Amino acid sequence: MVAMVQIHALNKYFSTVHVLKNIDLDIEAGKVTCIIGPSGSGKSTMLRCINRLETPNSGTITVDGDLIGYAREGANLRELSSSRIAAQRARMGMVFQRFNLFPHLTALQNVMEAPVQVKGVPRAQAETEAKNLLEQVGLGHKIHSYPAELSGGQMQRVAIARALAMKPEIILFDEPTSALDPELVGEVLDVMRELAKTGITMIVVTHEISFAREIADHLVFMADGHIVEVGNPLEMLVNPQHPRTKDFLSRIH
């Protein structure tokens, strides 16, 4: 297995609350890893530590061999500048629960913004690429629409196109369907299914167990700040090995 992401001895506190407890996890390159577990188990926090939206209290994360947030100086780690961390973050796409689109920009402008502003892509090139991405997610007819004119499912598909516009090595999904009405969930999952076929590394925090069963190469179950079980989704969902996993799955089936 070639690990795209390596998490070692990761700990995160919010005040006195120990949210992530000595997490060790390898994420395979070019595969889809789905992370499931009860609310408050640390799933989203772990995702946000990977792209440094949260700063771990201890432990290390490497992405494609690059230590995130730090430079090694002998046996010590030196924290990188905010601009260096931003450059590392630009290699990772992120799709949030609540879309986080700019309300004053059209779908096209939302997708173009980061390539132009962060990577210095010429506007004409960024526009062409943004149109292609919006076509790819089924929104070629909505390029001039503002977020307020779009459904939740359409906004999330714009957000996926926006993440892809940076040509990331890895894309992180933080419960991308949890804010959607049930009838809109399918259109977002369809886009993610197609994306999985392209071979990009995807890490998906999700409550959609049937989707995880269908699309994931690896399944991670988290509870109480720990990784409890990791395995093949088909085997793990049918025959979980850990009592905590069994209990969780019995409650949601």
- Is residue 80 in a domain? no
> Is residue 149 a contact partner of residue 157, using CB atoms and an 8 Å limit?
no
- Is residue 135 in a domain? yes
Can you give the pLDDT of all 253 residues of the chain as single tens digits? 778 999 999 999 999 999 999 999 999 999 999 999 999 999 999 999 999 999 999 999 999 999 999 988 888 888 999 999 988 998 999 999 888 899 999 999 999 999 999 899 999 999 999 999 999 999 999 999 999 999 999 999 999 999 999 999 999 999 998 888 888 888 899 999 999 999 999 999 999 898 899 899 999 999 999 999 999 999 999 999 999 999 999 988 6
Give me the number of domains the chain comprises. Answer: 1
216/101 Cα distance (integer angstroms): 27
159/152 Cα distance (integer angstroms): 10
- Is residue 53 in a domain? no
- Is residue 59 in a domain? no
Range of the domain at 103: 98-167
- Is residue 114 in a domain? yes
- Is residue 160 in a domain? yes
| C-alpha distances out from residue 211 to 69, 119, 192, 214, Å | 32, 33, 10, 5
Q: For 89-138, what is each residue's pLDDT tens digit?
A: 989 999 998 888 999 999 999 999 999 998 999 999 999 999 999 999 99
